[in-house]
Amino acid sequence: MVKLKLYFSGGIEGLFKGVKNHEIDISESVTIQTIVPWIQANLLSGDEKHEFCVDGKIRPGIIFLVNDADWALFDATTPLQEGDEISFISTIHGG
């Protein structure tokens, strides 16, 4: 079991019923590559699924951080560890 902290901000928390902070327990092994599809399958429903990601990849305009570092700095198969903090920040704002 791996316990992770998920943070959603910049407006994207609206997809998660306005909840910014989530603590999740995942029983299977999870990597940087598999966390996004896991979130889509387990925390979202309906149209929200497609507003967050497409084909298992984060939509453009959403910053994806692992322990405050851009996810692209890591290998996609890097396993997430107990206590890791995963953040998603929308950079797209209406106006």
Per-residue pLDDT of the chain (95 residues; tens, 9 = 90+): 899 999 999 999 999 999 999 999 998 899 999 999 999 999 998 888 888 988 888 989 999 999 999 999 999 999 999 999 999 999 986 54
Whole-number pLDDT of residue 48: 85
**DSSP character at residue 59:** P
Whole-number pLDDT of residue 89: 95
Whole-number pLDDT of residue 57: 86
Would you call 46 exposed, middle or buried from its count of C-beta atoms within 10 A (0-12, 13-18, 19+)?
exposed
Taken in order 27, 89, 7, 10, is the CA torsion positive or negative?
Answer: negative
Domain segments of the chain: what residues? Answer: 2-90
2-90: CATH superfamily? Beta-grasp domain (3.10.20.30)
Distance CA 40, CA 31 (A): 14
